[in-house]
Amino acid sequence: METMVLLDPEHDPGTEQAPSFDQSGAKMKAVHYEGPFKVSVKEVDLPKIQHPDDVIVKVTTAAICGSDLHMYQGRTAAEAGLVFGHENMGTIIETGSGVTLLEIGDRIVLPFNVADGRCRNCEEGRTAFCTG
């Protein structure tokens, strides 16, 4: 017997059709880095597909990582204007033409070290050493 665990019990991607996505002129809220010890929440343009392997994720849950704190404290080369956030969960709302393993409506988790899944290191299970 197969067991399925849903991250969001109100949303079953197997039975629910994902809404169409129109991003023309749309905005989203984002944590915006303005300099050491200064951040704000701003309305920014929604991202756009720039590469065939890109996906756009509607973030539903996010976390703060140690590297975010290093940026916040001015301990990195981060420049003002950067949008924080790289450890999160969400739903795919758009895919590039080269995306083959994910579909609109899929719920995903984005860890700190994102791997392409296609380079030699990824294919051999060494995703922490992704060269893609």
- In the predicted structure, residue 98 carries a pLDDT above the cut 60: yes
Q: Which residue has the tokens 């915006």?
A: 32
DSSP classification of residue 83 = B
pTM confidence score: 0.65
Range of lowest pLDDT (10-19, 25-34, 91-100): 10-19
* Distance, CA of 51 to CA of 83 (rounded, Å): 19
Q: Which residue has the tokens 């949303």?
A: 11
Mean predicted confidence (pLDDT) in 27-38: 92
Neighbours of 86 (CB within 10 A): 15
Using an 8 Å Cβ cutoff, are 130 and 113 in contact?
A: yes
